[in-house]
Amino acid sequence: MSSRGSASERDQSGSYASDTSVSWSIVTPPGAAGAIAIIELRSPEAGALEIALHELGLAPLPVGTVKLRPLLGIDTGLVARWTQHVCHLMPHGGLGVLRTLSQALVDRGIPLADAAEFPEASSPMEARMLRALARAASPLAIDLLLDQPRRWATGAGDDPGLNRILSRLMDPPLIVALGPPNIGKSTLINTLSGRIVSIVADEPGTTRDHIGVWLNLGGLVVRYLDTPGLREASDPIERRARDIALAAARRADLLLLMGDAGSPPPDPIPGCPVLRLALRSDLGTPSWSHDLAVSAARGHNMAGLADLIRETLVPAGAIADPRPWRFWAEPATV
């Protein structure tokens, strides 16, 4: 092929890098049970896509046309030429078809977009790892990601539960703080973030809307939402604020159910991992059972709270687990 080296050339050089400007990626959602998948061929270079389509055995397709075509002898599907630089192949959406087509594209010298983006990578898996490294939210992800090409090369299998936990290192999990008014919820978010993000006052109903920050808890980056105190809302603004808090709680990866020595035990909320926290512990600790007592104003147990949250969301055992981690979003294709 004029625009790219063959697979055997790449093998001999020991490098995955090729001189093509055309790359592909799967743009339909990973694992979606759709009847049709979309593979996007893309090139920043005018004319490169024509050559690639020709060499894939696809007849010329003017920009703006969609045709039903045989796809590399593997499937039949629509081919849509959106622009000079973008063309979509739409095979059936089964994982088997996708895997075979993806491999055929790589065999014909058209790299996965990751590999095109990281020509210094020595394998598609390493290119994929480098891309993940660039977007990982948590510092704790770095060493794990760097070790993934080696782990996958061993042929060991991954584990869905472990994948789910470790995905929290890529996309920050959502933590929602809930509790009655005037117990120190906003003081806690201010202390955890080291700055004033939420107004504090000795008056119930100070926080009227949810306030969010990203926090780095010992290497795990989380999204943390402070919410208005939960109470029977008398006016519409407070009712709206309470609804917002409860809606956020339904999406949370972890709920912090809070109270202090003077408040009743937090109501259990089914379906989401929960930590029960006693705030303002310098004024006394509640009789209801709690996972940790903290005083944000006095700085008491703040490091313990960060450790507890991190261990609940991403246990140290998951970080130390030697198995490979499926850290990418699209189906495993190469």
- What dihedral angle (degrees, nearest 10) is formed by the CA atoms of 72, 73, 76, 82? 10
302 binds ligand GTP (CB under 6 A): no
In terms of CB distance, is 164 or 298 closer to ligand GTP? 298
- 116, with CB counted inside 10 A (0-12, 13-18, 19+), is buried
- What dihedral angle (degrees, nearest 10) is formed by the CA atoms of 114, 117, 123, 128? -30
User: Could you say which of 298, 303, 304, 316 contacts ligand GTP (CB under 6 A)?
Assistant: 298
Instruction: From 18-26, 110-118, 203-211, 308-316, give the range in contact with ligand GTP by CB under 6 A.
Output: 203-211
Output the residue with the shortest Cβ distance to ligand GTP: 229
Give the nearest distance from C-beta 253 to ligand GTP in angstroms. 21
Interface residues toward Mg ion, by CB under 5 A: 185-186, 206-207
Instruction: From 27-35, 117-125, 198-206, 216-224, give the range in contact with ligand GTP by CB under 6 A.
Output: 198-206
In terms of CB distance, is 87 or 296 closer to ligand GTP? 296
Cα separation of 266 and 290, whole Å? 10
332 binds ligand GTP (CB under 6 A): no
Cα separation of 185 and 177, whole Å? 7
Give the nearest distance from C-beta 298 to ligand GTP in angstroms. 6
283 binds ligand GTP (CB under 6 A): yes
247 binds ligand GTP (CB under 6 A): no
User: Is the separation of the CB atoms in 129 and 146 below 8 Å?
Assistant: yes
Q: Which does 251 bind (CB under 5 to 8 A by kind): Mg ion, ligand GTP, none?
A: none
Over the Cα atoms of the chain, what is R_g?
26
250 binds ligand GTP (CB under 6 A): no
Cα separation of 211 and 72, whole Å? 52
Cα separation of 150 and 128, whole Å? 13
Q: Which does 202 bind (CB under 5 to 8 A by kind): Mg ion, ligand GTP, none?
A: ligand GTP
Write the DSSP string, 245-276: HHHHHHT-SEEEEEE-TTSPPPPP-TTS-EEE
In terms of CB distance, is 131 or 185 closer to Mg ion? 185
Give the nearest distance from C-beta 282 to ligand GTP in angstroms. 5
Q: Which does 212 bind (CB under 5 to 8 A by kind): Mg ion, ligand GTP, none?
A: none
In terms of CB distance, is 84 or 187 closer to ligand GTP? 187
Calculate the alpha carbon distances from 140 to 162, 217, 240, 319, 327 in Å. Answer: 15, 10, 37, 8, 13
Q: Which does 215 bind (CB under 5 to 8 A by kind): ligand GTP, Mg ion, none?
A: none
User: Is the separation of the CB atoms in 168 and 313 below 8 Å?
Assistant: yes
User: Is the separation of the CB atoms in 198 and 189 below 8 Å?
Assistant: yes
290 binds ligand GTP (CB under 6 A): no
Query: What is the bridge-based pairing of β-strands 274-278 and 254-259?
Result: parallel
297 binds ligand GTP (CB under 6 A): yes
User: Could you say which of 207, 263, 301, 333 contacts ligand GTP (CB under 6 A)?
Assistant: 207
User: Is the separation of the CB atoms in 210 and 228 below 8 Å?
Assistant: yes
- Catalog residues that contact ligand GTP under the rule CB under 6 A: 181-187, 200-202, 204-207, 228-229, 280, 282-283, 295-298
